[in-house]
Amino acid sequence: MLAIVCPGQGSQTPGLLSPWLEDPQSKALVQQYSEYSQTDLLTHGTISDEETIRDTAVAQPLIVAASLLAAHRLGLTAERVAGLGDKVLLSGHSVGEIPAAALAGALTEEQALQLISVRATAMADAAAAEPTGMAAVLGGVEDQVLETIEAAGLSPANINGGGQIVAAGATAAIEQLVQNPPARARVIPLKVAGAFHTSYMASAGETLSAAAAQMTPQDAQVTLLSNRDGAAVVEGSQVLTQLVDQVTRPVRWDACMESMREAGVTGVLELLPGGTLVGLAKRGLRGVASFAVKSPEDLEAAGEFIAEHTG
């Protein structure tokens, strides 16, 4: 059984689309995605520098477009994914839930890019309201790590499994946590612009909710695991509601991986920009094969990986 997963914010790198756009059909597709998202993805995916694509309003549409582009190049349209039935499941980390929902057939690609445009801008605006940030806590005992995070006045925004929890909140509190890490753990500040998946994003949640109310989603055609609790979500309206709620709620990637284990997943395929979720799978899903799509050169091997784990 194959798990197709889509990465979240922070996975973007300068020029990540450059080698993909040498293919004319891919370039035309990204141009279409640019129109849907009202973002110049051709520029941001090729020549924009690290600081530019770190901007939440740019990073999120770029990541969603990259995942969808890689899926197309692998022949993983929503129709083909649906045809795989119970041999496949989908999930995405944070912003990655949106392309995952599109590949599951709950959203069209146009809806996904429109939704991410609103989400990205609203979250960037919320992040600009006051100085906040995020930091990864690596190692330690989970209960003790959570206690230390909360004692610092921060929130556990991502519980990623594999000994990684991401804290979020006021910049001063993040700095305090870096200086006073939990026992047997280290704290690494993340290059993100705000305290995502916390109450600091309340205004973004309201804006996204209003945009989502104008959309008509469909039911997911294959198993789609939610960041809320790792459980499968099927009904289109519920998929959309949980995508909105996710902006202010913790990402429970640990629960998603546990659901993958319980479902009997034998392979995890991470779409572009791949790497982060495969790294978590190697620690949280020991013994499960994994493959990260990073460049067009990976397509042949990725196709073989898909075939191997879907029979």
Task: Show which residues are catalytic.
Answer: 94, 197
Tell me how far apart the 2 most distant CA atoms of the chain are, in Å.
53
- Please list the residues that pair with 224 across neighbouring strands: 90
Going from the C-alpha of 62 to that of each of 78, 98, 172, 292, the distances in angstroms are 20, 12, 30, 17
Distance CA(53)–CA(176), nearest Å, equals: 27
Q: Which residues contact 238 (CB under 8 A, 6 or more apart)?
A: none
Please tell me whether residue 92 adopts helix, strand or coil conformation.
Answer: strand
Distance CA(50)–CA(38), nearest Å, equals: 20
* Structure tokens given for 80: 């083909």
Nearest Cα residue to 134 out of 160, 158, 163: 158
The upper half-sphere exposure of residue 98, i.e. CA atoms within 13 Å in the direction of its Cβ, equals 30
Contact 66, 272 (CB under 8 A): yes
